[in-house]
Structure 1
């Protein structure tokens, strides 16, 4: 039997904590495969690219295995649905985002044959491209690998 990890919960926590806050949980994330990053843009493709690049550079997914990139892509899109309230569009809708993100890979089920899953969480701001007119937003996407 494998150890299960609530990958969505961990991803949401990691995306919402800054470095100082994360230090309060020192040691809590040692046995979890994850990466974190930031993305801010009026272009959704730049946000997607930032997450994919971080996941590949940190060994969360392998560039050589298409299903891993595919699973990550769908988790990103699902998470962006939450950030953008169901309409994945930013610049074309006169919105901009400033987001922190976390990608977590793990086994959320006790049964070994359920395999690995990937979670992507975003936390930050969305709003008109005018400083001070944005509000908080959050998104979570989970997909099987």
Structure 2
């Protein structure tokens, strides 16, 4: 999995969609690339908690510099774009009596051969969404990509 063969968004999607048998191979390939990545899980009826979990993971894994506004801003917009996919454009959870259980992947790097295109960040989400009653949820996914 190199950036010449695959885009940053596809890397993020593959990581978040991988099952336990596939994840180790993908991690090895990612470690050989120049992309940085982190993985995590979040679940809530509160959208702020979902956003916060992804931001915290990105900070703890040194994916972004917390004190650099453009990096925080790029991550925030990538997260919101991914959440729009998960929530079908209505960026609401608890207010409309629904909850999510999500896995996430954050990938950062230079996906273009031209160095002047700079760094980009991708956030992929995959999991379930539905009424806050176990067993009544369905699968959902979202992807957000933003330049840094």
Fold in common (TM above 0.5):
yes
Task: Deviation per CA, 1:88-107: give whole Å up to 9, x if none.
Answer: 00000100000000000011
Q: How many residues align?
A: 143
Task: Deviation per CA, 1:33-52: give whole Å up to 9, x if none.
Answer: 00000000000000000000
Residues 15, 26 of structure 2: 8 Å contact kept: no
- The two structures have a TM-score, normalised by structure 1, of 0.94
Query: In 1, distance between residues paired with 2:138 and 2:145?
Result: 24
Please give the secondary structure, in 2, of the residue aligned with 1:109. Answer: coil
Task: Deviation per CA, 1:53-106: give whole Å up to 9, x if none.
Answer: 000000100112110000000000000000000000000010000000000001
Please give the secondary structure, in 2, of the residue aligned with 1:27. Answer: helix
Q: Which residue is 1:22 aligned to?
A: 23
Q: Does 1:122 align with 2:125?
A: yes
Q: 1:26 to 1:67 in 2, by over 3 A?
A: closer
* Aligned residues: CA RMSD: 1.3
List alignment gaps of at least 5 residues for structure 2.
none
Query: In 1, distance between residues paired with 2:58 and 2:126?
Result: 17
Moved over 4 A (4+): none
- The two structures have a TM-score, normalised by structure 2, of 0.92
Query: In 2, distance between residues paired with 1:26 and 1:100?
Result: 15
Deviation at 1:21, TM superposition (A): 2.6
Q: Which residue is 2:36 aligned to?
A: 33
Structure that is richer in helix per residue: 2
Query: In 1, distance between residues paired with 2:125 and 2:44?
Result: 13
Query: In 1, distance between residues paired with 2:21 and 2:50?
Result: 24
Q: Which residue is 1:67 aligned to?
A: 70
Query: In 1, distance between residues paired with 2:118 and 2:70?
Result: 13
Residues 124, 141 of structure 2: 8 Å contact kept: yes
